[in-house]
Structure 1
Amino acid sequence: MALVDRWYKILNILETNSNISQNALEDSLGTSRQTLKKNIQLLNKELNGIARITLDNHQYSLSIIQFEEYEKILSGKLKKESDFNSSSKRIAYILKRLIEYDAPITINDLSEELSVSRGTVTNDINSIRDVIQLYEVKIIGVTNKGLVISGSELNLRLLYINIVLDYFSMERVNEIIKQKILSKCRDLKVPKQSINLLIRVVETSFMRIAQGHNLIDEIKYYQNFISNTDVFEQFIIFLEEEYDITLSSNERDFIGFPFNIYNQGNEPQKEYNFDISAYIFSAMMKKIHGLFIIEFDENKLYEEIKVHLSHLINRLLMRIKAKDLFSIQLEAKYPLSNAMAKVAGQVIEKLIGRPVPDVEISYLTLYFEMALNRGSDSSNKDIAVICHTGRGTAKMIKQQLQRVLGNNVNISVYSQNEVNNELLEKYFAIFTTIPLRQDAITIPVIQLSTIFDDNYVREQWERVERNKTIDSAYIKVLVTNLDDTLNYKENLKKMTDTLEQHLLTDPDFVKRIFKREEIKSTVFDNGIAMPHAINKKSNKVVLNVGKFEAPFLVGSKEVEIVFMIGIPEDAPAVIENVLLEVYEFFFMVVNTPEIKERLLNAKDNAEVKELIRKEVI
């Protein structure tokens, strides 16, 4: 990575995270502590008087002194000021020459213009080929003439916008026109992150039009949400008058795309056609339900996600990366929702023809997590509050708990002398400021200080709620040792027979398992499979964990662990929660080698159940 590119990556990370540890920043950049320290020293010299990166108590933070000058830095000032010693700037220059000039150009010409060797230019072109492959663009050698660039007009423009203009100044948008555009942007209430992009789009569009390269084809799936608004029409008229040209509808739509990639509320007013979003959402749900037997309010999710999907589609089409606002790894925090989001991403990629970046998967993960959480058991729960200083302080703590936990709890308060085992056993959980001396209390106990931290209480409450679900009243766990002398189907039959022998599944459960396998294999990555079907025999979630002694080949994939899940036909909310916990654990095993290893080493049903409880909760 070129130094200037690393500088911008550092700034982007520090903008998202107000504080970030040395280790986390090193990991994000893939560099050593010594290299990072040197990079930041050099960057601080460039930022002198504008901003400052400081290290305090092993935490990096960014302080901005001159916001206007800092905005210029973010707009690419450091890249534009770099010289051809930077490979990134050489790459941008080569792309600029290839896109702006129709005639072939030789490596000798580029070598002379850049004042570098032919070998350096050849290496740069090889690097360019890796970059432009993502844009479906190619560099082609023409015999005895030189190099030309080949790709659709849309992709060539996006390449120019996203790479070339990072390093080179505008030629068609002069300062006067730029100030007029900024004024129009204020009228249109354009978000800050879109203004610089809009100026680049105007520069690129009129450069290509002047060269005779017009957008002939409509952009499939793209929507211009503001095409019929007066403010956008006035903006187009302004551009046509400035450049003395009449723009086609395709050119208008392209120039409008910076307005259509982020949801900034109702300004400017947008008109959505949700047909595409509805079609994609339907395909997403079909794929997800083909992999998971899981229930949530799809209509509610669609209403929440449809606008996001509309902007997401436009971002993918225009190859715009959403800003990564996530300081946590959502895959680890919400494994089931993340797995659903990845499935949704695969569907979108197949339909739209663009890869879905990880940051977009993170946004989808949050939507699915909200949808799943709505399915949680909303029945009121009784909890007890015990305080050593008496009922007065306990009532104060009750008010704090009510604020944190909401109205779905019934809170009773007691002093230390009022409680006994028989009294406490009827409660869902106990909050106490004192160590309880009663023996054999089976109810979850959460220790508090008199004035407690809200986040701590939320975390402990979630732990208690989830702990209650992994209970023998709601789940039955078995372990089956699988036989590598049998084929995979025979091993699945062995697992279903075990469940039926324990009177846990109905006679047709095995048929439903194999019918589901015929529709689509339930073998996932990393040696894990999850055959699952409706079970009409038990009102519990039934989990049979099958384990091979060594990786077992199923088709082209190896399998070590088989999660066979029987799902009650009419599951109440609490059973739905248990099922979610089992799914969460499954994807933890898929994604975390350490947990997978512990599961392989678990000797019996109790150890597997305890591992689920420990990891999920």
Structure 2
Amino acid sequence: MHKSDYIVKYLANSTSDYVTSAQLGDFLSSSTRTVLRYIREIQAESNEHGFEIISNKGQGYRLIIRDKAAFQNYLSNSLAEHEKSDLNKLECQIARQLLLTDYIKLDDLAQQFNYSRSSISRITSAVASIFEGYNLELESKAHQGFSVQGSEINIRHCINNLIFNSFTMYQTARMLQVDDLDWNSFKKAATDIVKSRGLNFKQELLIQFMKYCYIAVNRIRNKRYVNFEQIKDLEFDIVSDESLTLMLELIQLICPEFEKTTESQWELYYLALAWEQSIYPVEKLHDPNPERIKFFLDIVEKAVENIKNYYGIDFTKDHQFLKDLAEHISICYWKYLLNVESENLYLDEVRSKYPTAYYYSVEIAACINESTKTKIPDDELSLITLHFAAKIERENRKQIKTIILCSTEFGITELLKSRLNKQYGDIDVIGICTCDNKVQLCHDNADFYISADQIEQSELNGKPILQLSPFLDEEDCHLLDEFIARLNTTVPLQSICEPNHFYILNKPAKKAHLLNYLCDYLLQEGRITEKEKADIFAREALVPTAIAPHVAMPHCIIQGSSFLVFAVLPKSIIWDQTRINLIILGCFHEGDNQIKNLLKQLYTVISNKQQVDKIIGCKSYDEFIKVMNDFVGEELC
């Protein structure tokens, strides 16, 4: 069975009212973010299978059966996939073996797991996908075999999720070959230290810290050290000297051979960060550090200056906004260093509802990376996006003007006006009048009309009429969103996506190969430079670009004119831990004031599953243009 099927069965059999994503993660041996992705996939298709998964913030998830027959049929079909689950278990076993071994040959894996060499070769391809989810690569070297390569911190996160979430502490200690150590003495010493400082801590937090130590000792013994070189030039202290001294005492208690050297000193910082986040109370962690805030304020100011130059949006004058953003980054910086993910249930919604805010947050991430060589986790990036989204909402001004048409029922139109004012901040209802009031209508400056009555006319005074119910229900909102998208259009689609920039790529390939293929073609055309190609890959390394189900949208700022590349993949590929069938490569001219509208229109398209399916099914450029025009009109942005 697929892991999503396991989630459904787990929720269906649960005796608790709600199950948290952390509990599901432990059950699946997966990260919380992976669980959230599975939940979203299930929710998208649950109605047709007779059930629904509801979420309650702070409590978790609950399964409700709506149609018993349909639900039973779903369970029966999932059982047919049971054999595949055995394969998933084997993949995890092989992944664990690879994580705990420097190099292992294909023949040795085949012998260890009693599979043929060709079968193991196919399975390792699936295992490579597991590692890709942690930004790791399964490298193969002649005469040496397979080895997991990538950031040491990412490797440790992978070890934690694939081993700790599947076995007891004792079993894990044995697997990591650290069961010879006196962990009871270590636990007692750590507990005494905490109590001597009068800190109230939860036992599970101390256990979480011990997990860091288990893995650290295993990696230290294998001469694999965390590298925090990026923090040595920072203008503030990451952790306290007291914590560093404590970590040296604790690590030598369980690992007497540990010596503080230039190479190993960063282990103390790594454990000290884990210690402070596990043991110290929240109020101490959130205590503002003026030096640290000033450091990040400089970074934020540089980033918003870039946003002003690239996107034509000026945030530089709102000093309180900049200070609040700098404080948020200052408080969360330890998460960036440890690559800790926050549980953000609204990641996809934030991206789809505030696309420009997400791209502004990417500029923040780029400047943080440039100054500190630290990458921001995806979920944390979405929290920065929320800061920009809130700022945009505060400054939102009504730009689109409309008049509500009616016969004589002014009460109905007042209801519609009230709901429009409440739900659509960018629509200004400038009046209510009857269709036969030609004097007022001839002199109005409305962009369009809304009618709460059934009328035959589709336009008036050359301006479109949109028919909505006075209750402005979900279907009405969907129609209005699409209508506003079309109303804001100014640039013909054909002018920003030419025939030679529409691809149908039938041959499966890895993400990097596909992106390289598209960029090289644009280089040959002279549409981008080598530096701009490097920028595309640099941004891709910074933040995930799989921004909607089945869709990825890498981008960069260029000196030439803005354009789009659409690449349809009939066979899906893995991209940022998810499967995608459509790549939209956005190349935007620096300062192009159409970018904001362009991004809004693109997100309107890709947030509609049926529309995405139609695009993926296109067999030619002409068919693609027709599908897009049918949805957003002949102009895109």
TM-score calculated relative to the size of structure 2: 0.50
SS in structure 2 opposite 1:296? Answer: coil
Tell me by how many angstroms 1:92 deviates: 2.8
SS in structure 2 opposite 1:435? Answer: coil
Per the alignment, residue 255 of structure 1 pairs with 272
8 A Cα contact 2:482 2:632, kept in partner: no
Alignment match of 1:404 (pick from 423, 428, 439): 423
Tell me by how many angstroms 1:434 deviates: 1.0
Tell me by how many angstroms 1:201 deviates: 1.8
1:311-353 deviation line (CA, Å, top 9, x unaligned)? 6754454344454634747776666555666666566666665
1:442-461 deviation line (CA, Å, top 9, x unaligned)? 445443333333x6666666
Q: Is residue 221 from structure 1 mapped to residue 231 from structure 2 by the alignment?
A: yes
Once the two structures are superposed, the pairs formed by residues 8-19 of structure 1 within 5 Å of their partners are: 8=29
Tell me by how many angstroms 1:297 deviates: 1.1
SS in structure 1 opposite 2:597? Answer: helix
CA distance in 2, matches of 1:258, 1:362: 26
1:128-183 deviation line (CA, Å, top 9, x unaligned)? 8994995699999999xx99999998777656545443345255269976996999
Structure 1 gap ranges (5+): 26-32, 38-49, 62-81, 485-513, 534-542, 548-560, 569-575
Q: Is residue 294 from structure 1 mapped to residue 312 from structure 2 by the alignment?
A: yes
CA distance in 1, matches of 2:164, 2:373: 25
Letter in 1 for 2:314: F
Letter in 1 for 2:315: D
8 A Cα contact 2:340 2:377, kept in partner: no
Cα RMSD after superposing both structures: 7.3
Change (3 A) 1:235 1:417: farther
Per the alignment, residue 92 of structure 2 pairs with 88
Per the alignment, residue 326 of structure 2 pairs with 306
Per the alignment, residue 165 of structure 1 pairs with 164
Alignment match of 2:446 (pick from 420, 427, 438): 427
SS in structure 1 opposite 2:169? Answer: coil
Tell me by how many angstroms 1:117 deviates: 7.9
CA distance in 2, matches of 1:415, 1:362: 46
Per the alignment, residue 211 of structure 2 pairs with 200
Per the alignment, residue 410 of structure 2 pairs with 391
8 A Cα contact 1:522 1:531, kept in partner: no
Change (3 A) 1:120 1:227: farther
SS in structure 1 opposite 2:421? Answer: helix
| Bigger CA radius of gyration | 1
Letter in 2 for 1:221: I
Per the alignment, residue 270 of structure 1 pairs with 287
Alignment match of 1:581 (pick from 594, 597, 603): 597
Change (3 A) 1:276 1:432: same
8 A Cα contact 2:486 2:633, kept in partner: yes
8 A Cα contact 2:405 2:434, kept in partner: yes
CA distance in 1, matches of 2:362, 2:337: 18
8 A Cα contact 1:544 1:563, kept in partner: yes
Per the alignment, residue 507 of structure 1 pairs with none
Change (3 A) 1:173 1:384: farther
SS in structure 1 opposite 2:231? Answer: coil
CA distance in 1, matches of 2:89, 2:496: 62
Change (3 A) 1:208 1:382: closer
8 A Cα contact 1:280 1:347, kept in partner: yes
Per the alignment, residue 69 of structure 1 pairs with none
Tell me by how many angstroms 1:583 deviates: 5.7
User: Which shifted more, 218-227 or 270-279?
Assistant: 218-227
Change (3 A) 1:60 1:233: farther
CA distance in 2, matches of 1:192, 1:424: 72
Q: Is residue 450 from structure 1 mapped to residue 470 from structure 2 by the alignment?
A: yes
CA distance in 2, matches of 1:121, 1:93: 17
Tell me by how many angstroms 1:531 deviates: 6.9
Q: Aligned pairs, how many?
A: 497
8 A Cα contact 1:21 1:60, kept in partner: no
Higher relative contact order (CA 8 A, sep 6+): 2
Change (3 A) 1:293 1:527: closer
CA distance in 2, matches of 1:155, 1:12: 14
8 A Cα contact 1:433 1:447, kept in partner: yes
Per the alignment, residue 19 of structure 2 pairs with none
Letter in 1 for 2:453: I
Structure 2 gap ranges (5+): 7-24, 52-59, 73-85, 174-182, 501-525, 538-552, 566-584
CA distance in 1, matches of 2:152, 2:535: 41
CA distance in 1, matches of 2:270, 2:93: 30
CA distance in 1, matches of 2:105, 2:494: 69
Tell me by how many angstroms 1:409 deviates: 3.8
SS in structure 1 opposite 2:454? Answer: coil
SS in structure 1 opposite 2:446? Answer: coil
8 A Cα contact 2:558 2:587, kept in partner: yes
Tell me by how many angstroms 1:369 deviates: 5.6
Tell me by how many angstroms 1:270 deviates: 3.2
SS in structure 2 opposite 1:254? Answer: helix
CA distance in 2, matches of 1:563, 1:195: 48
SS in structure 2 opposite 1:200? Answer: helix
Per the alignment, residue 573 of structure 2 pairs with none
Per the alignment, residue 74 of structure 1 pairs with none
Once the two structures are superposed, the pairs formed by residues 164-183 of structure 1 within 5 Å of their partners are: 164-166=163-165, 167-170=167-170, 172=183
Change (3 A) 1:147 1:214: closer
Once the two structures are superposed, the pairs formed by residues 520-535 of structure 1 within 5 Å of their partners are: none
1:23-60 deviation line (CA, Å, top 9, x unaligned)? 769xxxxxxx9xxx9xxxxxxxxxxxx99867656999
CA distance in 2, matches of 1:55, 1:257: 41
CA distance in 2, matches of 1:148, 1:426: 67
Tell me by how many angstroms 1:581 deviates: 1.8
1:349-408 deviation line (CA, Å, top 9, x unaligned)? 6666566666566556555666666775x2576644455563344444444443334598
CA distance in 2, matches of 1:111, 1:522: 39
Letter in 1 for 2:472: F
Once the two structures are superposed, the pairs formed by residues 559-578 of structure 1 within 5 Å of their partners are: 576=593
SS in structure 2 opposite 1:580? Answer: helix
Change (3 A) 1:191 1:478: farther
Tell me by how many angstroms 1:233 deviates: 10
TM-score calculated relative to the size of structure 1: 0.51
Once the two structures are superposed, the pairs formed by residues 115-514 of structure 1 within 5 Å of their partners are: 131=131, 160-166=159-165, 167-170=167-170, 172=183, 197-205=208-216, 219-221=229-231, 227=239, 251=268, 254-257=271-274, 266=283, 268-272=285-289, 273-274=292-293, 277-278=296-297, 281=300, 292-298=310-316, 300=318, 302-307=322-327, 309-310=329-330, 314-323=334-343, 325-326=345-346, 328=348, 378=397, 383-387=402-406, 390-405=409-424, 409=428, 412-414=431-433, 422=441, 425-436=444-455, 440-453=460-473, 467-470=486-489
CA distance in 2, matches of 1:203, 1:153: 15
Change (3 A) 1:276 1:116: farther
Letter in 1 for 2:230: K
8 A Cα contact 1:173 1:199, kept in partner: no
8 A Cα contact 2:226 2:270, kept in partner: no
Change (3 A) 1:330 1:52: closer
